[in-house]
Amino acid sequence: MATPQRLQTINLTLCAAPSDHVAFSPFPLLPTELRLRIWDFSITKHRLLEIGVAAPDTELGPGGVASGLQLYSTTNALGKVISGRNYAATVQNGLHLHTKLLRVSRESREVALRFYRLHIPCYVRTSRSSPLLEEEPRGQQTTLYLNPEFDFVHLRVHGLVEHTALDFGSFVHDLKAHDPRGVGLVNLALDTNGISFLHESLVGSYARVQAELAVPCRASLVDTLSQLRNVVWMADSHYGRAIMGPLQDFGDAGVRFNHSMPVKPATSAFDLWSRDPRPAAQVGPDLRYVLTAGRDPRQMHVQWTEVLQRWSIVPRHGPITERVLFAHEPPPYEPPIYNVGTADGFLAEEEESWIQGQHHRQFWVRKWAGRLPVESPEELERAARPAIGFWLFPVEALGGLEGDITGSKKIFDMTGYWPELALARLF
């Protein structure tokens, strides 16, 4: 059965996704310069990579020194000193991680390796279950190919908080060491746990960290924080689209469906639009009710500011651009969204569940929304078409830092700002 238009994502209309079913036989006959330009166009994209960094708790001896290891004593293939830290870097959203251009031809591979110039050992997971559970394997060992200027690294440092500075510092040091240009990390994303761990380690334990970290680790940490261009605060959650406000502790949101809220995929590649291109008449009203079930993301900005101040960080490229990511993240028991079919399946099931939920709770829906169903068929057809991806708002859109910025389950009125829209490349 054909997918109703109201459930057809805008991704295929607006994103250039490669297809396995399209062939252009005369391609090898094109001039080399033109072929290379086509390869470059095909590979140039952004990614949001969720990378967990963890080291065994038993590895550390007194003073935070790795037992049996001599840190910062070996070099890599580029002749640069690496940390030697026995951490595991695991890409959590590993579906379609590696570009197909790495294996199409020798020519395309050369273009891909030139674009993804930073190569670092890692593990890759394709499921969305927690990488922290000891009984779960880390995933397949492989090489992570990175472009520091285009890739955003959602860094999750796991384990004991007293090891956070060492794990974080070692990882960013190794990113610089594996980058032929010596740049490393420039686009960082953190969630509430990540910034809390960093804050407690780099601010709360400042004196101990200064004393225990090796000089190269401290230098790389300071240098990386100084060169950052973008920081993204992760405010995605399992809420935000089908809203039963009073039943979900979002009382002021009422009962409504936020059609404009993007749905976060399990893949990493995306195209970034400077403005959500959907009609203002559709998106505008939904911006009044932007929900997150995590902690108030303004706390992340406050903690980040304190980290920079405590370490006397002066941004090298001017003020760091801070943005907040909002999206509806499907729960881990749902099938991951990575292509058109899985997106269509999720959206159809979501709509059916929303309609059934209204009838199941019809007493409360009539009380809070005034009617059942909440939307007529005509209103559904006029609603914003779904987007698979995420919103990015400037941090100032969250409002001032005065008053109570603690707690979780927040509702933000973003009508004064129009979001950037990251659209996943669906295959």
Residue-wise pLDDT tens digits, 116-152: 999 999 998 876 554 443 334 567 888 999 999 999 9
For 296-351, where are the E strands, in sequence order? 321-326
Residue 299 has pLDDT above 60, yes or no: yes
Residues 196 and 249 in one domain: no
The dihedrals phi and psi of 373, each to the nearest 5 degrees, come to: -75, 170
What would the mean pLDDT of 302-307 be, rounded to a whole number? Answer: 96
Residues 189 and 255 in one domain: no
In a domain, 319, yes or no: no
Residues 204 and 264 in one domain: no
Residues 112 and 172 in one domain: yes
Q: What pLDDT does 327 receive? A: 98
In a domain, 360, yes or no: yes
Among the candidates 178, 207, 228, a domain finishes at: 228
Residues 332 and 203 in one domain: no
Angle subtended at Cα 205 by Cα 201 and Cα 211, rounded to the nearest 5 degrees:
105
Residues 201 and 79 in one domain: yes
pLDDT > 70 in the chain, percent: 91
In a domain, 24, yes or no: no
* Count of the separate structural domains present in the chain: 2
Residue-wise pLDDT tens digits, 339-395: 999 999 999 999 999 999 999 999 999 999 999 999 999 999 999 999 999 999 999
Residues 263 and 337 in one domain: yes
Residue 73 has pLDDT above 80, yes or no: yes
In a domain, 20, yes or no: no
Q: What three-state secondary structure class fits 136?
A: coil
Q: Write the secondary structure of the chain as one string of H (helix), E (strand) and C (coil).
A: CCCCHHHCCCHHHHCCCCCCCCCCCCHHHCCHHHHHHHHHHHHCCEEEEEEEEECCHHHECHHHCECCCCCCCEECCCCCEECCCCCEEEECCCECCCCCHHHHCHHHHHHHHHHCCEEEEEEECCCCCCCCCCCCCCCEEEEEEECCCCEEEEEEECCCHHHHHHHHHHHHHHHHHCCCCCCCCCEEEECHHHHHHHHHHHHHCHHHHHHHCCHHHHHHHHHHHHHCCEEEEECCECCCCEEEHHHHCCHHHCEEECCCCCECCCECEEEEECCCCCCHHHHHHHCCCEEEEEECCHHHHHHHHHHHHHCCCCCCCCCCEEEEEECECCCCCCCCCCCHHHHHHHHHHHHHHHHHHHHHCHHHHHHHHCCCCCCCHHHHHHCCCCCEEEEEEEHHHHCCCCCCCCCEEEEECCCCCCCEEEEECCC
Which residue range is the domain that position 380 belongs to? 234-298+328-424
Residues 279 and 142 in one domain: no
Least confident piece of the model among 226-230, 265-269, 388-392: 265-269
Residues 163 and 287 in one domain: no
Residues 71 and 139 in one domain: yes
Among the candidates 228, 253, 286, a domain finishes at: 228
Among the candidates 228, 247, 266, a domain finishes at: 228
Give residue 400's pLDDT band: very low, low, confident or very high (50, 70, 90). Answer: confident
In a domain, 42, yes or no: no
Residues 201 and 137 in one domain: yes
Q: pTM of this prediction?
A: 0.92
Distance of CA 64 to the CA centre of its chain: 30
Residues 53 and 86 in one domain: yes
